Amino acid sequence: MSLIKNGILVLPEGAKKADLRFEKGKITEVEEHLEALEGEDVYEAKDCVVFPGFIDAHTHLQMDTELCQTADDFESGTRAAVCGGTTTIVDFATQDKGGTLKQALQTWKNRARGVSYSNYAFHMAICDWNEETKKEIAEMKEKGVTSFKVYMAYENLRVQDEELLDILNTLQEEGCLCGCHCENGPVISLLQEQEFAKGNTGPGAHPVSRPAQLEAEAVNRFLYLAQLAKAPVYVVHLSSRLGLAEVRAARDRGQTVYAETCPQYLWLDDSVYDQDGFEGAKYVMSPPLRSREDVNALKEAVLHDEIQQIATDHCSFSYHTQKVIGKEDFRKIPNGAPGIEHRPALIMTLFEKELSLEKLNELLSAGPAKLMQMYPGKGALLPGSDADITVWNPNRIWTITAKNQQQNVDYTPYEGFEMKGQAAMVFINGRLAAKDGSPVGVPGGIFVERGK
């Protein structure tokens, strides 16, 4: 048995000072005052905030792209996650063209099993829609995969519009959630060719070839198709004002639209692409970073409850060995950036003065748990819930630097950024997994079957 004492607990009814007991991986008691029992492990949480473990519902670990594999696998990625305070990730198992969903799920489970520090669940990315795939949706749900994703960009991943409508209809009938990477892939390819032909071969051409209009157009198309299918949907990594306007318009039409954004779209802007040399490659991700006005609009949207979750889209590639593949041609720079370790600190720091503990919990833990059908097993400090717990020290001042990170990558987009707040203790299924930003013990994460 273990006891966390004297912390401010963020409970479903609100934050209050209380003690919490857990045993065999489950929370057993939450009371204003609990006396330590003989032989019990007692963890002091004075001056700390005790959150249900944070959930990062958008990660890409050990993912192959056409050019290389992500720098972080499930071992390093989830180790970084727990050190930052994240106790569960939802990664994207991705169907191969010509492959089945079952195969993809098995592949991703094999990658994660036994090496993951955090718990893990999977969305399924549908890349080859056919009658066989359609039949597999119910089976995926049975296996605990309740959310799916489609890409409107990337030639090797994207589905056609008519397939997208069929997917939306099918997922709606099965009661599953459809997420979408909203960017107009074919037009992006054309703009990329045009930029390259003009001699714009460096990272600066990346945002130019992926303007916000092409996000907004795709959000608009996705959401109108969702309206036809009467499907609740989820727009992943929203990055722009124009895209946000399309989300608002669909909601005004009465649609259920969940929106996710990421720390990078709330902290960074497109001025990073103006740096000399190849530095901008560190920020080549899709969608790209936008203007300061976009950043401010998304922050406002967070403050006004228009964003349901903040996830990372962690997709790391090392600058010196992987990003460099695109040194002569920006189209070959692997797309993605690291963030799995730093999301909680970035969000706590950014919104320290503006968001309540309850609201922060909603964005980082309870919200994703509900949306991803893990609540109240996860995302809640309730008797019976899993003992995934993040004890947050809100007063610790520290600086992000690649040198000290757990992420298996040679840079961070947030180098030198000062943070206020750090995960002091992180429990996964009742076991201490990280302390003050460093891992403790061995990987103990397990697969989370959702919707059960």
From Zn ion, ligand URP, none, interface partner of 443 (C-beta below 5 to 8 A by class) = none
260 is an interface residue for Zn ion by CB under 5 A: no
Does position 407 bind ligand URP by CB under 6 A? no
CB of 91 to Zn ion, least distance (A): 10
2 backbone dihedrals φ, ψ, rounded to 5°: -135, 150
User: With 0-12 CB in 10 A as exposed, 13-18 as middle and 19+ as buried, what is 46?
Assistant: exposed
> Residue 388 interacts with Zn ion (CB under 5 A)?
no
| Residue 235 CB, nearest approach to ligand URP (Å) | 12
* Helix %, strand %, coil % of the chain (to 5): 35, 25, 40
Nearer to ligand URP, 119 or 312 (CB): 312
CB 314 within 8 A of CB 339: yes
318 binds ligand URP (CB under 6 A): no
Residue 270 or residue 313: which is nearer to ligand URP going by CB?
Answer: 313
Tell me how many residues contact ligand URP (CB under 6 A): 8
Only segment of 49-57, 75-83, 219-227, 310-318 that touches Zn ion (CB under 5 A)? 310-318
The interface partner of residue 286, options being Zn ion, ligand URP, none and the CB cut-off 5 to 8 Å by kind, is: ligand URP
203 forms part of the interface with ligand URP (CB under 6 A):
no
Q: CB 11 → Zn ion: shortest distance, Å?
A: 32
Helix (H, G, I), strand (E, B) or coil at 54: strand
Q: Per-residue x/- mask for ligand URP, residues 275 to 314, rule CB under 6 A?
A: ----------xx--------------------------x-
CA angle 96, 239, 93 (to 5 degrees): 20
336 contact choice in ligand URP, Zn ion, none (CB below 5 to 8 Å, kind-dependent): ligand URP
Q: Which of 202, 208, 162 is nearest to 187 (CA)?
A: 208
* Beta-bridge partners for 422: 393
User: Residue 72, interface with ligand URP (CB under 6 A)?
Assistant: no
Residues binding Zn ion: number (CB under 5 A) = 1
Q: Is 336 in the site for ligand URP (CB under 6 A)?
A: yes
Question: Would you say 217 or 313 has its CB closer to Zn ion?
Answer: 313
Say which entry of Zn ion, ligand URP, none residue 232 contacts (CB below 5 to 8 A, set by partner kind): none
Report the candidate in 283, 286, 249 with the shortest Cα–Cα distance to residue 267: 283
Query: First CA to last CA across the chain, in angstroms?
Result: 26
Residues 273 and 30: their CA atoms lie apart, in Å, by 49
Q: Is 133 in the site for ligand URP (CB under 6 A)?
A: no
Q: Are 242 and 216 in contact (CB under 8 A)?
A: yes
Give yes or no for residue 215 binding ligand URP (CB under 6 A): no
DSSP 420: E
Candidates 30-38, 112-120, 188-196, 308-316; binding stretch for Zn ion (CB under 5 A): 308-316
Name 93's bridge partners: 124
- Give the one residue of 136, 313, 341, 362 binding Zn ion; rule: CB under 5 A: 313
Residue closer to Zn ion (CB basis): 5 or 323: 323
Q: Is 214 in the site for ligand URP (CB under 6 A)?
A: no
Residue 439: Cβ within 10 Å count: 18
335 binds, among Zn ion, ligand URP, none (CB under 5 to 8 A by kind): ligand URP
Examine residue 181 and tell whether it contacts ligand URP (CB under 6 A): yes
The per-type count for the chain, helices as H runs and strands as E runs, is 13, 17
Nearer to Zn ion, 11 or 61 (CB): 61
Q: Taking the complex as a whole, how short is the minimal distance between the CB of residue 88 and ligand URP, in angstroms?
A: 19
At 387, is the secondary structure helix, strand, or coil? Answer: coil
What are the helix (H) ranges across 175-211?
185-197, 205-209
By CB under 6 A, is residue 60 in contact with ligand URP?
A: yes
Residue 412 interacts, among Zn ion, ligand URP, none and using kind-specific CB cut-offs from 5 to 8 Å, with none
Q: Which two tokens stand for residue 55?
A: 């959930």
Q: Supply the DSSP string of 308-376, one letter for each residue.
A: -EE---B----TTTTGGGGSS-GGGSPP-B--TTTHHHHHHHHTTTTS-HHHHHIIIIIHHHHHTT-TT
Sites of contact with Zn ion (CB under 5 A): 313
Sites of contact with ligand URP (CB under 6 A): 60, 181, 285-286, 313, 315, 335-336
